[in-house]
Structure 1
């Protein structure tokens, strides 16, 4: 009968028992997320804390002074007579952008979700503005929307005297929304197109056998199954609409008056044109709160609008 002899483990070799499979897997997971975690800490969390700290001070760069003012900037926020107009312009721009962008993107995705010869060319054409430089795109549209620009030139052929699109209150906001919609509609179109191609054809075949018309198929089958993509694109579009700056700065500079002065551009004016860095930081905090609240509200609504959520 063989005798199994157990040898004592030498001291200093207990590290193998510490690095268990679970701990090695956890370490590998942390290493994979470390770059993103470091990036969020350096470029999101720390700047956010600094912005809050700056909002409690008045920083005069020209005089090289940094004075603690407490809640003075937040009191100025409540007493700012221009802020209601700025928030109103921001709400109009965001609502117009979200409605027209998502509607047009979904319509284009449905039209381009066909197996036809040359359909890839049309998909590329509608997506191409997304990869164009934002400033270059805006400058070109600025020339087209001038009083004697290309759009009014086309209208003049039909005997229509077009307005000065960027200098009249109503047309200025419409122009900015349209320029932004045409710039980014291709991105949402691609997302919707990918979602539509993931809908099983068997469901449409069963609906056609039951005699369901196309609109009812779209409402009962397509919309519920692409609802996660609708939620994603709505969040992306709303957050993007609240951060728009270059289009306003190039096209209208916030005018006429405050009709196109959205919150980000107003923040830029206060901080970098008027050198009220403390008040600009306070506006940044308000913008962060607005974006966070809207994103949280949309995420909480997912159980009602997303088909897969229960």
Structure 2
């Protein structure tokens, strides 16, 4: 008699079903959720206004009369034929170049000095950085009083027998005064960035250079500058972009004068749009400013491969 044993039933092979929420998709969703506020802010506050400015530049908008008329490329033809624009661009270039050179050189000098192991450096760091957190309008108003013909600067010069000029009313001194006020205001920020970069330079490199007989200047030129070149690039971009957007200092100190010697592009834009009520032409000038800032930023970024350390 044979016993028939039942074979165990095999479970059917699981059908392969595609899982929608894979690990990669969950990670991508989490990443998009994290950057969603920044993307929304960029769209609402950057891209949409940029498109609207381009649309306004093709119109002439008279706010007082309530007229919004299509002009096509008329504002751009006016931009090409504007006799004041070359002087405005020259004043903008002079201000930006002066601010870039003085700000970066002074900030790097202060950072090198404050990087030494000396007593009282914390006090000086706070002293040099404190103007950064001061209100721009308050800072500019105070300097406006100091730079007047009978202000505090000329009072100090009279004490040593020097007859100071009218700083804000001279063609040669007005631009220099505005640049110096802006340098003193923002040099502390670049100083802190340079100081952080200097403290990240390995000390072994300086020790090896000292053993090889390199001087301090050679060590600074061959070790310090290459090692902090990424920070130099960052501060130069920040300073150039900030210099092209200067407005409060010009409006409070010189109102673009004397003549048009300190009328930079942003202040000229303000005059055309809000003083003369040429909003369409003001929008065209703002597009010109955007193109200049974008072009200079791209040029500086592309040049990083030639002089920024770690870049190939």
Bin the TM-score by the shorter chain: over 0.9
* 1:59 is aligned to 2:97: no
Q: Give SS of 2:69's match.
A: strand
Partner of 1:38: 40
Runs of 4 or more consecutive aligned structure 1 residues displaced over 6 Å after TM superposition: none
Structure 1 residue aligned with 2:240: 238
For 1:180, the equivalent position in structure 2 comes to 182
Deviation of 1:16 after TM superposition, in Å, equals 7.8
* Number of equivalences: 306
Measure, in 1, the Cα distance between the counterparts of 2:8 and 2:208.
Answer: 72
Aligned to 1:294: 296
Structure 1 residues 8, 199: CA separation in 2 closer, same or farther (over 3 Å shift)? closer
Larger Rg: 2
Pairing 1:109–2:111 present: yes
Alignment partner, residue 198 of structure 2: 196
Please state how far the C-alpha of 1:116 moved relative to its aligned partner.
Answer: 2.1
Identify which of 218, 221, 228 aligns with 1:219. 221
Residue among 258, 267, 290 paired with 1:265: 267
2:7 equivalent to 1:5 = no
Displacement after TM superposition at 1:114 (Å): 1.5
Taking structure 1 as reference, are residues 303 and 264 closer, same or farther at Cα in structure 2, changes over 3 Å only?
same
SS state at 2:68 partner:
strand
Q: CA RMSD in A?
A: 1.4
Match of 2:3 in 1: none
Partners in 1 of 2:172 and 2:206 — Cα distance? 43
Matches within 5 A, 1:25-104: 25-104=27-106
Deviation (angstroms), 1:115: 1.9
Q: Which residue of 1 aligns with 2:4?
A: none
Aligned equivalents of 2:127 and 2:17: distance in 1? 60
CA distance in 1, matches of 2:74, 2:86: 19
- Structure 1 pair 200–167 and aligned structure 2 pair: CA distance change class (3 A): same
Alignment of structure 1 residues 13-28 onto 2, 5 Å: 17-28=19-30
| Separation (CA, whole Å) in 1 of partners of 2:276 and 2:220 | 52
Structure 2 gap ranges (5+): 1-6
For residue 295 of structure 1, report the CA deviation from its aligned partner.
0.2
Which of 102, 123, 126 is matched with 1:124 structurally? Answer: 126
Pairing 1:241-252 to 2, within 5 Å after superposition:
241-252=243-254
Cα shift at 1:3: 5.5
Q: 5+ unaligned residues in a row in structure 1: which ranges?
A: none
TM-score after normalising by structure 1: 0.96
Question: In the TM superposition, what whole-angstrom CA distance separates every residue of 1:190-224 from its partner, at most 9, and x where no partner exists?
Answer: 00000000000000001001110000000000000
